[in-house]
Amino acid sequence: MPLDAITIKAVTDELSEKIVGGRIDKVQQPERSMLLISLRSQGENMKLLLSAGTGTARVQLTRASYENPQEPPMFCMLMRKHLIGAHIVSVEQPDNERMMVITLDCYDELGVRSRKRLIAELIGRSSNVILVGEDGRIIDCMRRMDFAGDATRRLLPGMIYKLPPVQPKTAFLDCDGENFAQLLNKDDRDIPLEKWLMDTFSGLSPLICRELSFRSQGSYDNISASFQALRETVIEGELVPTMLYEEGKARDFSFMWISQYGSAGENVSYDSFSELLDAFYSKRDKEQQQRRRSHELTRSVKTARDRLQRKLALQREEFKRTENREQVRINAELITANIYRIKKGDRTAVLENYYVEDCPEIRIELDPLKSPQENAALLFKEYNKLKGAYKHLSQIIDEGEKKLDYLNSVLDELDRAASEKDLADIRRELAETGFIRKIKKSPDRKVKEQQPHRYMSDDGYEILAGRSNSQNDQLTCKLARRTDFWLHAQKIHGSHVIIRCDGLEPPESTLLQAASIAAYHSQGREAGKIPVDYTMVRNVKKPSGALPGKVIYTDYSTLMVSADEELAQRLSDNAKK
C-alpha cells in the first residue's frame, strides 16, 4: 500500500529524533527511483532511503543492502556534489500532506554556507525526489516533469519550486467534532460509509477508511465516535507500527491495529516505522530490481527458446513422415518381385504381401507414365531419402531438445539470480555457448569470478551451491573431491550442491539440510516437498560435448524435502562467522 499522511507523520517524527544533526557521508542511487544516503548521527552510522517508485514511495531508515550500478546515474552524481558533507537541520511534513522536507546545511562550490531542501513527494505515480536551493529554485529532480506532462505543474531545473496542489478535501487532523457533524449532515448517506470517508477527508488511506467503517458497523450514526477517537490517537502520537499478515505473507501495514479481517489477518507490531517499512518493502524492492535488470536478458533467452520450439515442432512433423519408410521399402521390393505381373500404364498393383503372415493383399499406387522398373526405382529412392532423413532428424531433434532444456534451465537461473554479478555470469555463459552475442570488453578490465553460494551445516560441514550452469560444472567437475557428496533436485532444473566431507560420510542432519538447500536453489522451491537425489561426486559424470550444467549420475539415494528460506539464511550466516 502507499503511505498515507498519518504514517508519513509518524515516520517524520521518528526521523526527526534520529537524524537531525547528522552528517551526510555518502550518496548512492541503486535504482532510477531510489536514493540511498549514508549518514552519521548520534554516534551511529545510518542509511536513509528515499524512494519515488510507484507503489513503493517512502522515506525511511533502512538496514537492507542494495546493489549499485557500475556507473552512477547523473542525478546521483549531482546529489553527491550538493549533499556530501551536509548536516541535517530538520525533517518536516508540510500541512500533513503526503510529502517530507529535509532541510540541509550545505556549502556551495565557493565554500559559502547555504540551506537546501531535499523534498520527497510521495504521491502515487507522481512521486518524486527534488533538491531545491536556498533561492527556492529547483537544482534537479529525480523525475523531471516537462511540458509533455501534466499542464498544471512543471518540475525542471531552474524553475521556482511550488508545493503540489492541495486536494479539495477536508484535512483529517483539522476536523474536530463540530466540523465533522457539519460535513456529515451535508452529505447523502446512500453511498457506503468507507467511500464517503475517502471522498471527504485527505490523509486517510483506503485501509483506514475501511477500518473506521468496520468499527462503526458501517453506520453513519456511529462513525463520529470512531473518527474522533482515531484523530485524538494520532494527535497524541500513540501510533503503533503494525504489519498485517495473511496466510504468513505481509498483506498491508498501518499505524494502528487492524481488525476488519478478523481471524484471517494477523497483526504484528514492530519497534519502529522504519523497521516496519523495511520488513514490507526491502525484499519486494530487491525482487523488482532484479526483474528489471534481468528483463532484457530474460527476453533474449525466451526469444531463443521460442524460436527453438518452433523449429523443433517443424522437425518433429517432418520426422513423422519418415515413420513409414519400411513400408515404402516393402512396396518397392514387392513391385520388383512381381514385375512380370505389372504393365506400364497401370495406376495400381494388387499384390500379396509375403512380409506378413497369411500374405494379405496390398494395393500399391503406381505412376502410369513409368515402367514397373522405374516405379520400383522411384520407391527405393524415396526409401533411402526417408532413411537418411530419419537418421539426420533423430540427431538434430535430440540436440534441439538438449538446447531447449538448457535454455529452460537458464530461465530458472534468471528467476533465482540475486545480483548483477549473477546476471553477468549468466550473460557470459550464454555468449560462450553461442546463444547471444559476445560483449566486447576493455582488455584492461579483469572480470572477477563469482564464488558459489556458501553455507555451513549445524554439524560443521561446508555446503556449496552453484549460481549458474557454468559454475555448476566448475563446482562438480573441478572444485569438488571425488569423496564429497553431490545433491540435485530430481528431474527439474536447479543448482548442483556439494557437501565438503574430507572423506567422511556426513550425518543425516547435514544431508537433510543440504537437500533443503538444493530444493531452495531449484525450480521446485515453491512446490512444497520435492525429491532430491544425492550421491558421491565420483558417481557423477559430464557427458562429452554436453551443454553447461548437464551431468549424469548413478548409485544415488533420494530424500523428500522442502525449500526453507529461513534455514538457508541461517546456514549462510553460519558460513560467514
In the chain (577 residues long), the average pLDDT of successive 10-residue segments reads 84 94 94 93 94 90 85 92 94 91 86 90 90 93 76 83 86 85 76 89 89 90 89 90 88 91 89 92 77 82 92 92 89 89 90 87 91 92 92 92 92 82 85 78 56 93 94 94 95 94 90 96 90 95 91 95 92 89
For helices 420-432 and 273-320, the axis angle rounded to 10 degrees is 10
User: Would you state the cell numbers that stand for residue 510, as one nine-digit string?
Assistant: 547435514
Q: Which of 427, 181, 128 is nearest to 297 (CA)?
A: 427
Strand partners, 532: 489, 559
If residue 157 lies in a helix (H) or strand (E), which one and from where to where?
none
Phi and psi torsions of 70, nearest 5°: -65, -35
pLDDT score, position 444: 47
CA distance 516 to 462: 14
CA distance 522 to 352: 59
Kindly tell me the burial class for residue 105, based on how many C-beta atoms sit within 10 Å of its own C-beta (0-12, 13-18, 19 or more). Answer: middle
* Category of 460 on φ-ψ map: left (φ > 0), alpha (ψ -120 to 50) or beta: left
If residue 77 lies in a helix (H) or strand (E), which one and from where to where?
helix 74-83
pLDDT score, position 507: 94
Report if pTM > 0.75. Answer: no
> 5-141 in CATH: which number?
2.30.310.10
Half-sphere exposure of 434 (CA within 13 A, CB side): 2
**The one-letter amino acid at 386:** L
Pairing label, strands 170-171, 201-202? parallel
Distances (CA, A) of 431 to 243, 326, 423, 427: 45, 43, 12, 6
Sequence length of the chain is: 577
DSSP code, position 245: E
> 290-450 in CATH: which number?
1.10.287
Domain boundaries, the chain: 5-141, 171-277, 290-450, 453-576
Half-sphere exposure of 90 (CA within 13 A, CB side): 8
557 Cβ contact list (under 8 Å, min separation 6): 533, 534, 535
pLDDT score, position 528: 87
- Direct distance between the N- and C-terminal alpha carbons of the chain, in angstroms, rounded to an integer: 37
Per-residue b or e along 506-531, where b marks 16 or more CB atoms closer than 10 Å to that residue's CB: beeebbbbbbbbbbbbbbbbeeeebe
